[in-house]
Amino acid sequence: MRKHLKHFLLVAVLAIAGTVTAVAQSTLRGKVVDAETGEPLIGATISVNGVNAATDIDGVFVVKGVKPDASVSVQYIGFKTKSVKASPRSRGELGTIRLETDGRTLSDVIVTSQIAVARKTPVAVSSVPLSFIEEKIGTQEFPEILKSTPGVHANKEGGGYGDSEIYMRGFDNTNIAVMVNGVPMNDMENQNVYWSNWAGLTDVTRTMQTQRGLGASKVSAPSVGGTINIITKSLEAKKGGSIYYGMGNDNMNKVMFTVSTGMSKSGWAMTLLGSKTWGNGYAQGTDFTGYTYFLNISKRLNDNHQLSFTAFGAPQEHYQRKGALTLADWKMTEQVWGITDHKYNSSYGFDKNGQRKTAEYNVYHKPQFSLNHQWQINEKSSLSTVLYMSIGRGYGYSGQGNSTYGYSYTDWYGANYGVLQTKYRNADGTFNYGMIQDINEQSEHGSMLVMGKLKNYHNWYGLVSTYNTKIGKNFDFYGGIDFRAYKGVHTNEILDLYNGKYYIDSSRKNAKAANNVNASNPDWVNEKLGVGDVMYRDYDGHVVQEGAFFQTEYANNDLSAFIAGSLSNTCYWRYDRLYYDKEHAESDTKNYLGGTIKGGANYNINENHNVFFNAGFISRAPRFSTGVFLTSSTSNVINPDAKNEKVVSVEVGYGYRLKWLQVDLNAYWTKWIDKTMAKSVSVGAKQVDGYINMTGVNARHQGIELEVKASPLYWLDLTGMFSIGDWQWDSNAKGYVYDANGQPLTKDGEIASGVTAEDHQWAAIKLKGIRVGGSAQTTAALGATAKIGKQIRIGADWTLYARNYAYYQIDKNNLSLGKETTVADPWKAPTACQVDINASYKFKIAGMNATISGNVNNLFDYQYLGKVWNPRSGAANKDNVYGFYAFGRTFSTRLKVNF
């Protein structure tokens, strides 16, 4: 193997040397990219003294037989023509040529309104073109494409298909704004982004950009950690198409086709894509099947109007792995059960008949439909409008237990809070679902444990409209509206009685304690339920948001500046069909007024140096779940202590540019004030269920980020990144205890009405100085891509994760009521790194362009922890912390033929 590797490297070096040596003085080389996104421009026209050439798929051009100091004209539809001249010392190397969008043409509304512009927009920004995604994706999921971006940490969570997550500057998915073609993707109730719903984005993305910090996106709902803007294919798609087949480890397969009509003479264009991906999954028992469909129909009505309709969906079904284990148990799964590479799945098992069963399964389809209209009113003004709709349908499994007889939903989970469930375990480590069938068959009170189908349906409608006009020579004004209406339907239907005759939902007894109307009916409380009946929850969550925003930009020679603001009202209410009768089913409506103000400036000192700063303040509504409704699944009671979260942020940056080098350095400071933190507790000798909302929860995120891109040689591209963060909780939290009906409780668990404030039960947590967990606070990356001739590309990437702290744990089991609770210092995972390699070869098949490519991720099969939690009690150590390991070595190869 080593001999073959040496021979391959020798041939590669000789080929590279031959390529470099062959460059003559009479040859001009360069690369043409979009100045805003960094995406290569394919088919740009290069003119040199009457000699014409065109850029290839990488935006690269080669013109032979001209003088090395000749003047080069670069043209591309929709962009300003640019002339460049090579110096005698450059030996014909023109480097990267950046073309700017021609404001007089009808450009893509989404790009102009959401994408930041280098050396103009004063934010920390990184762009990822389509070519980068195609080269690097391999077996990675969509968020992992950004892992070489400063301040970003992506992990696969349990490792199920689409179950990955992303952090930006220490903030998780719920605090990162994700937008596709200008349409917000974050869930309206909890602000999360479920990447399994968007797994097909890798197939349809034209370009992707991350704006760290406050960002430049013009919508009324702001981001805290950053913004991810994803732009899909549209009018620019050329006539033709492609077919694709890929395969990889663990029986992964993927087929895909795409076809585009290109722009017709009458102004019509259409792009259609479809794909299917399936496999066994890396972790044990994580089989998956996913589909993607994408349709874009665009019409350039005339010089002033353009319409674009997009339909995109990624239906999928996959088994999951949610059971994080302690490090000691991970060792045991290898030593006792022989399941290597941390692939063990504690919920994987079978019933008495040998049928596959699971407690962790997800099915979802969330299509998005959008209609974009661009109106170029005149040379100075335009109106951009997108009307969108999302219809989500799907479910996940949720085990339930009859607590009256000592059974709990946690009995279904193979591992809970890191503790491996051994009660229902076979000798080979698989979960014994047959034992649960035995318990239910022998029970005189129906099933003790049942499996539920936790449905989450939603209808979501929205409108974003932006008016842009130029005021005088130096000012641009943007103003618009952002409207969203959302209804989420949440039920839990019995899926499987597991050989029992019926099920009695013990959670209904809690309704009696909360004085809910249906609790007065004893038949309802003790109703015998069967398959298809509703248990535990059946409610609708409603969210309506109205907002307006503005931004004024100033640009004069080398100075650009902006000031922006927004105002929004978020309205919440819920409708409960299970715990209330029709008269009381709808809760009160709660409105939260929020807004933003931000500004910044960029100054280009000269063609090589620029500096920028930005600052802003955000006030945003608390979340529907765990914020406004402390028990959103079972109660209409509104949290009396819920308040807006506030964020203050300041950032400064510096950029350095040469034809072959780009360096960006920035520092940031962000203060998060009044973060929502809700906990459940048990009060008094009777252990009355209570809820507490901690107020005054603050965090401080600050750090430095460096990003470098270089092309020192025509055939070599280099990238580098380093970021170091200091993310800490910055206050001690305190909260008061309420029962399920919103009444204050005393330390004895009694209603505190008519008593002094001192008698109201409370708790506090010493958080100040505790590290924020979940994301590596130091990251670094190095990458290199070598182009051997026009056909071969070879790349390697190294990524480092350091200072990755565990999540601290505080819940009702270790929260001390009536006094302060000390949080144990989060455990720090060992520093880790991995190496990924990729290669591609371009060739012809029957006159058509084809590419065969391959990736090996985690080349050296390094086993490291991607996400860790502290134990619920006691000091953390290398055995009792629990978490998930990153994937070991994975590989994939694929063939793509363009026609």
User: What does 770-823 look like in DSSP terms, one character per residue?
Assistant: PBP-SSEEEEEEEEEEEEETTTEEEEEEEEEEEEEEPBP---TTT--BTSEEEP
Mean residue pLDDT across the chain: 87
Question: CATH number, domain at 56?
Answer: 2.60.40.1120
Average pLDDT over residues 740-758: 73
Q: Does the structure show a pLDDT above 80 at 30? A: yes
What are the pLDDT digits (tens) for 823-832?
888 999 999 9
Backbone phi and psi for residue 114, each to the nearest 5 degrees, phi listed first: -125, -15
Averaging pLDDT over each range in 229-238, 473-482, 723-732, which range is the top one?
723-732
- The answer to whether residue 394 sits within a structural domain is yes
Residues 396 and 492 in one domain: yes
Please say if the pLDDT value at position 513 is more than 80: no
Q: Of 168-182, 249-263, 371-385, 680-694, where does mean pLDDT reach its minimum?
A: 680-694
Q: Quick check: is 109 in a domain?
A: no
Is the pLDDT confidence value at 119 over 70?
no
Residue 791 has pLDDT above 70, yes or no: yes
Residue 497 binned pLDDT confidence (cut-offs 50, 70, 90): very high
105 φ/ψ angles, rounded to the nearest 5 degrees: -100, 165
Percent of the chain with pLDDT over 70: 90
Same domain flag for 138 and 66: no
How far from chain centre, in Å, is Cα 444? 47
**Confidence bin at 761 (pLDDT 50/70/90):** confident
In a domain, 110, yes or no: no
3 pLDDT more than 60 = no
**Helix or strand (DSSP H, E) at 282:** none
541 and 505 belong to one structural domain: yes
Residue 246, both tokens: 């890929």
Of 102, 136, 158, the last residue of a domain is 102
For the chain, percent of residues with pLDDT exceeding 90? 55
Same domain, 766 and 833: yes
pLDDT band of 499, cuts 50, 70, 90? very high
Residues 185 and 44 occupy one common structural domain: no
Looking at the predicted structure, is the pLDDT value of residue 183 above 50? Answer: yes
Pairing status of strand 27-34 against strand 93-99: parallel
Does residue 1 carry a pLDDT above 50?
Answer: no
- Residues 92, 137, single domain; the answer is no
Q: Which of the pair, 369 or 51, is modelled with greater confidence?
A: 369
Domain boundary among 102, 136, 164: 102
Q: Which domain holds residue 21?
A: 2-102
Residue 119 lies in a domain: no
Band of residue 108 on the pLDDT scale cut at 50, 70, 90? very low
Least trusted range by pLDDT, from 513-517, 527-531, 702-706, 834-838: 513-517
Instruction: Please indicate whether residue 512 or residue 633 has the higher confidence score (pLDDT).
Output: 633
Residues in CB range of 35: below 8 A, 6 or more apart:
98, 99, 100, 101, 117, 118
Q: Give the end of a domain, one of 102, 137, 153.
A: 102
What's the structural domain count of the chain? 2
Other CB atoms closer than 10 Å to residue 583's CB: what's the count? 7
Q: How confident is residue 104, by pLDDT bands cut at 50, 70 and 90?
A: very low
**Tally of helices (H runs) and strands (E runs) in the chain:** 8, 54
Residue 293 predicted with pLDDT over 80: yes
- State the pLDDT confidence band at 895, using cuts at 50, 70 and 90: very high
398 or 813: which carries more pLDDT confidence?
A: 398
Kindly state whether residues 95 and 153 are assigned to the same domain: no
pLDDT of residue 314: 94
Same domain, 421 and 510: yes
Name the one residue in this structure whose structure tokens are 């969906």. 313
Average confidence (pLDDT) over 393-414: 92
Determine, yes or no, domain membership for 114.
no
Asked if residue 128 and residue 98 are part of one domain, the reply reads: no
Residues 833 and 707 reside in one and the same domain: yes
Look at residue 893 in the predicted model and tell me its pLDDT: 97
**Structural Rg of the chain based on CA atoms:** 29
Q: Residue 246: in which H helix or E strand, if any?
A: strand 240-248
Question: Do 133 and 201 reside in the same domain of the chain?
Answer: yes
Note whether residue 487 is domain-resident. Answer: yes
Structure tokens at 783: 């990458």
pLDDT at 55: 79
- pLDDT band of 746, cuts 50, 70, 90: confident
Q: Does 302 lie in the same domain as 242?
A: yes
Is the model more confident about 12 or about 859?
A: 859
Q: Is 116 part of any domain?
A: no
Contact 281, 161 (CB under 8 A): yes
Residue with more model confidence, 492 or 193: 492
Residue 111 belongs to a domain? no
Give the pLDDT of residue 17.
Answer: 39
Indicate which CATH number applies to the domain containing 587.
2.40.170.20
The predicted model scores a pTM of 0.86
Please check the confidence at residue 517 and state whether its pLDDT lies above 70.
no
Write out the H or E segment, with its range, that includes residue 135. helix 130-136
pLDDT tens, position by position, 666-714: 999 999 999 878 777 878 777 777 788 888 899 999 999 999 999 999 8
Three-state SS at 655: strand
| DSSP string across 519-565 | GG-HHHHTPEE-TT-EEEEEEEEEEEEEEEEEEEEEEETTEEEEEEE
pLDDT for 600: 93
pLDDT tens across 561-595, in order?
A: 999 999 999 999 999 999 888 888 999 999 999 99
Between residues 820 and 394, the one the model is more confident about:
394
Mean per-residue pLDDT for 752-781? Answer: 85
Greater confidence (4 vs 340) lies with 340
Q: Between 530 and 72, where is the model more confident?
A: 530
